[in-house]
A and B are shown apart, each in its own frame.
Chain A
């Protein structure tokens, strides 16, 4: 499939109706997935995501699939809580968690759909542990689990696999461990691998990104693009554009539910600023993808989420017209 200039994609999650966190693809999830796939096609998005309607939590679902005990709620911030799996035994993956949702979503469209996984460092950090004492043992054990999942996705036909690693900013000094975890997770995989990172102090991690064993780095940038002169991250990007090393998917939409829908001019400006920083030459420009900062699961209803994605697509179309290679 030939992608246009500035290919677009979502990051993963979409608002879902309130229900118990199940971590499985039930009838309601299937209906919501079908609707969301259609919405993305209507918007003209290039690489689709499945909306993650089946998902409970990024680490908890894996814990359940691995038959680990699940701890009671712990808080991340504000009113956000999650249940950490407790790794109390050796991790051995027997059944894939993510293949069924991928197969279902892909059956609904001819556009490529991403297979979605959680990365090994995030899984290790967002679990409690009583078995693996050393951090590298935790990360590598989970890397084997993620590799198993990735292989199953590839067997099922996934051409794009996203490995979410929002924990990249945690233990930021463990660059080699993080890299090795990702490398093991993608070992033997020929699909296009994306790693999505968010919620980080990216100026600490930016220098490491070029060495990651992935094809694309997916990074949130909307707020920094509004004040590029003040952003330390943008300063680093200007000095050493990541597009020299990898494809880069740039977040141009602030997904927080309390942030109003941006106007097209704002998002157009963000995209153009991105091009100035990361795509100053035609070959680097072709490595830029456009997406929202993150998934939309924190939204209570899909209306504003849809409006934000529409603004993004309108802005992308405007910029594409101005850049004819």
Chain B
């Protein structure tokens, strides 16, 4: 079992991150200085994650304004409106408005972090379905419905994926598939969406879901998608264990089982209970290929709490791997 984290990592709590914050908030920012600081903070975060025992780190998404809209920063056909809350939380994302054909102008290349850090990191992207659910289709957009725009995002991502090698790991975060008390329109588009997006691409892939509950139908749908790993939220849905043990799959499971604090609770996780749950999956999935993670971004917590969560992840994985 390997450890990973999802979403942005707290970017404040060290002298370097404080400098980044000051530079970002300065009256006049200097792009080169900002870029250097972002690189340095990324190095620091990744080093912290790896030293603490995270097997598959991300790059902390230091460059991201928010977890949802960041890949569309320099994209034709997209403008940003006001600010919206992300699901049930007080984390905010920019309102995405499609005004024309979606075309990549300049995609922020997170894999620059491989040159920046000594460690390989996974590339984490908001999934095309979730992006489509959060996009307002403007009057001048050539897309008529959520399915068309989801496919446009998938095509946008193909350009990113085709350059990835088979050693690379690319994760699509798709909370909109199960987000609690939100609409989940046209879920039936997902198989074709992901097939088209991943056709002839080489990287290892994952889809990660969070902040909601699962049905048998959503589980079947998720495990039918052409990705290697399916990430599941065990914090929101403690009954998903029963559903998962009824399916037969050779896909890897991502266990989002440590509480990220997204509902405000920052009490201690029950490590023994978590280890027991994970071990119980031994007959159902290859635990050696599974991932264990917090159920959502650790940015709900201050950095010192996030550090404790990472330590816990390592302890859990070590116990399970014994």
Separation in Å of the B93 CB from the closest CB of chain A?
7
Tell me, yes or no, whether B66 is within 8 Å of chain A by CB. yes
Binds A, one of B149-157, B164-172, B263-271, B308-316: B263-271
Tell me, yes or no, whether B159 is within 8 Å of chain A by CB. no
Report Cα–Cα, A135/B302, bound state, in Å: 21
Which residue of chain B has the shortest Cβ distance to A224 in the bound complex?
Answer: B82
- Binding site secondary structure of chain B: loop
Tell me, yes or no, whether B283 is within 8 Å of chain A by CB. no
Tell me, yes or no, whether A323 is within 8 Å of chain B by CB. no
Which residue of chain A has the shortest Cβ distance to B303 in the bound complex?
Answer: A72
Given the known interface contacts A128-B266, A129-B266, A300-B27, the answer about A74 and B83 at a Cβ–Cβ threshold of 8 Å is no
Report Cα–Cα, A129/B302, bound state, in Å: 13
Report Cα–Cα, A230/B138, bound state, in Å: 8
Considering only residues 149-202 of chain B, those with a C-beta below 8 Å from chain A are 180-181
Q: Collect the chain A residues with CB atoms within 8 Å of residue B303's CB.
A: 72-73
Considering only residues 49-81 of chain A, those with a C-beta below 8 Å from chain B are 71-81
Report Cα–Cα, A77/B305, bound state, in Å: 19
**Does A199 contact B85, Cβ atoms closer than 8 Å?**
yes
**Does B8 contact A75, Cβ atoms closer than 8 Å?**
yes
Tell me, yes or no, whether B32 is within 8 Å of chain A by CB. no
- Binding site secondary structure of chain A: mixed
Tell me, yes or no, whether A269 is within 8 Å of chain B by CB. no
**Does B267 contact A126, Cβ atoms closer than 8 Å?**
no
Binds A, one of B10-18, B41-49, B50-58, B121-129: B10-18
**Does B299 contact A199, Cβ atoms closer than 8 Å?**
no
**Does B92 contact A74, Cβ atoms closer than 8 Å?**
no
Q: Collect the chain A residues with CB atoms within 8 Å of residue B21's CB.
A: 79, 81
Tell me, yes or no, whether A169 is within 8 Å of chain B by CB. yes
Tell me, yes or no, whether B213 is within 8 Å of chain A by CB. no
Tell me, yes or no, whether B24 is within 8 Å of chain A by CB. yes
Tell me, yes or no, whether B261 is within 8 Å of chain A by CB. yes
Query: What's the tally of chain A residues with a CB closer than 8 Å to chain B?
Result: 38
Contact of A200 among B25, B84, B138, B266 (CB under 8 A): B84
**Does B12 contact A72, Cβ atoms closer than 8 Å?**
yes
**Does A129 contact B264, Cβ atoms closer than 8 Å?**
yes
**Total of A-B residue pairs, C-beta within 8 Å:** 98
**Does A77 contact B302, Cβ atoms closer than 8 Å?**
no
Report Cα–Cα, A170/B88, bound state, in Å: 4
Q: Collect the chain A residues with CB atoms within 8 Å of residue B92's CB.
A: 76-77, 80, 199
Given the known interface contacts A125-B264, A169-B85, A173-B180, the answer about A71 and B91 at a Cβ–Cβ threshold of 8 Å is no
Q: Collect the chain A residues with CB atoms within 8 Å of residue B88's CB.
A: 170-172
Which residue of chain A has the shortest Cβ distance to B94 in the bound complex?
Answer: A77
Given the known interface contacts A72-B302, A79-B21, the answer about A138 and B90 at a Cβ–Cβ threshold of 8 Å is no
**Does B83 contact A77, Cβ atoms closer than 8 Å?**
yes
The size bracket of the interface on B is 35 or more
Contact of A71 among B11, B265, B305 (CB under 8 A): B305
Considering only residues 60-104 of chain B, those with a C-beta below 8 Å from chain A are 65-66, 81-85, 88-94
Tell me, yes or no, whether A34 is within 8 Å of chain B by CB. no
Q: Collect the chain A residues with CB atoms within 8 Å of residue B261's CB.
A: 128
Q: Collect the chain B residues with CB atoms within 8 Å of residue A127's CB.
A: 264
Which residue of chain A has the shortest Cβ distance to B93 in the bound complex?
Answer: A77
Tell me, yes or no, whether A130 is within 8 Å of chain B by CB. yes
Separation in Å of the B261 CB from the closest CB of chain A?
7
Q: Collect the chain A residues with CB atoms within 8 Å of residue B305's CB.
A: 71
Which residue of chain B has the shortest Cβ distance to A124 in the bound complex?
Answer: B264
Which residue of chain A has the shortest Cβ distance to B268 in the bound complex?
Answer: A130
**Does B91 contact A86, Cβ atoms closer than 8 Å?**
no
**Does B304 contact A230, Cβ atoms closer than 8 Å?**
no
Report Cα–Cα, A75/B10, bound state, in Å: 7
Considering only residues 201-243 of chain A, those with a C-beta below 8 Å from chain B are 201, 220, 223, 230
**Does A75 contact B89, Cβ atoms closer than 8 Å?**
no
**Does B304 contact A72, Cβ atoms closer than 8 Å?**
yes
**Does B266 contact A76, Cβ atoms closer than 8 Å?**
no
Q: Collect the chain B residues with CB atoms within 8 Å of residue A73's CB.
A: 10, 12-13, 302-303
Tell me, yes or no, whether A167 is within 8 Å of chain B by CB. yes
Q: Collect the chain B residues with CB atoms within 8 Å of residue A94's CB.
A: none
Tell me, yes or no, whether A133 is within 8 Å of chain B by CB. yes
Contact of B82 among A72, A75, A223 (CB under 8 A): A223
**Does A74 contact B10, Cβ atoms closer than 8 Å?**
yes
**Does B90 contact A130, Cβ atoms closer than 8 Å?**
no
**Does A223 contact B81, Cβ atoms closer than 8 Å?**
yes
Contact of B25 among A79, A128, A138, A201 (CB under 8 A): A79
**Does A130 contact B267, Cβ atoms closer than 8 Å?**
yes
Report Cα–Cα, A230/B10, bound state, in Å: 36
Separation in Å of the B284 CB from the closest CB of chain A?
30
Tell me, yes or no, whether B2 is within 8 Å of chain A by CB. no
Separation in Å of the B64 CB from the closest CB of chain A?
9
Separation in Å of the A265 CB from the closest CB of chain B?
21
Separation in Å of the B263 CB from the closest CB of chain A?
8
**Does A172 contact B181, Cβ atoms closer than 8 Å?**
yes
Report Cα–Cα, A81/B82, bound state, in Å: 18
Report Cα–Cα, A308/B39, bound state, in Å: 38
Tell me, yes or no, whether B301 is within 8 Å of chain A by CB. yes
Report Cα–Cα, A160/B65, bound state, in Å: 37
Q: Collect the chain A residues with CB atoms within 8 Å of residue B302's CB.
A: 71-74, 83-84
Report Cα–Cα, A274/B122, bound state, in Å: 48
Q: Collect the chain B residues with CB atoms within 8 Å of residue A138's CB.
A: 264
The interface bits of chain A over 1-43 (1 if a CB of B lies within 8 angstroms of the residue's CB, else 0) are: 0000000000000000000000000000000000000000000
Separation in Å of the B269 CB from the closest CB of chain A?
12
Separation in Å of the A57 CB from the closest CB of chain B?
12
16 A-B residue contacts at CB 8 Å?
A72-B303, A72-B304, A73-B10, A73-B12, A73-B13, A74-B299, A75-B10, A77-B66, A79-B25, A125-B264, A167-B90, A169-B85, A170-B85, A172-B181, A199-B84, A220-B82
